[in-house]
Amino acid sequence: MSSLVPGRAGRVHQVNVSKGGVPKLPVPGTAVRRLGLDGDGHAEPEPMHGGELQAVSIYSVEALARVAADGHQAFPGAYGENLTLDGIDWANLGPGVRLSIGGGRLVLELTKHAAPCQTIAHWFVDRQISRISPKLHPEDARWYARVIVEGPVAAGDSVEVLPVVE
């Protein structure tokens, strides 16, 4: 993670929620609380999804573009992410990295990669969910985050990468 540059700004491309299952659908914005986004649910709750350490699922527009270029169906919300971000150096993220969203109104801390599951397999050619596996393609894997500071989030909000808290 040595090339991670704290202060690098991106933005929230899309906020996504569903009552359970995929795709998660876009909303203009919502509140993010300790256990996740208002209006969001999980078809397979804890321990598979949800809880404090997996409160928010995050993905990137750039990763979606790379996956789509390989022939898979890929669009914001397809893989169950709550926040689709744009302009963040995905390959250099890691556990403990914090994201300040909307000028610090919301702060998230990355906890671990989100391993792909069969729920999203229909989006992939030959159901090859390994295309977004953190073991094979960490630069295209989703992240889980815990909520450090609860707050609102909306499409267009700024996203700043903060240094890892030691």
- Predicted confidence at residue 44, as pLDDT, reads 59
Tell me the Cα Rg of the chain. 14
In this predicted structure, which of 112-116, 128-132, 161-165 has the lowest mean pLDDT?
161-165
What digits encode the pLDDT tens for the residues 5-26?
A: 555 689 999 999 999 889 999 9
- Predicted confidence at residue 43, as pLDDT, reads 60
Over residues 128-152, the mean pLDDT reads 97
Instruction: Report pTM.
Output: 0.91
Pairing of strands 83-86, 56-60: parallel
- Predicted confidence at residue 1, as pLDDT, reads 37
What digits encode the pLDDT tens for the residues 81-114?
A: 999 999 999 988 999 999 999 999 999 999 999 9
Question: In degrees rounded to 5, what are phi and psi of residue 134?
Answer: -65, -25
Q: Which residues sit opposite 27 in a β-bridge?
A: 15
Domains of the chain: residue spans and CATH: 9-162 (2.40.33.20)
What digits encode the pLDDT tens for the residues 21-33?
A: 899 999 999 999 9
Helix segments in the chain, DSSP class H: 61-69
Q: Check: CB of residue 68 under 8 Å from CB of residue 115.
A: no
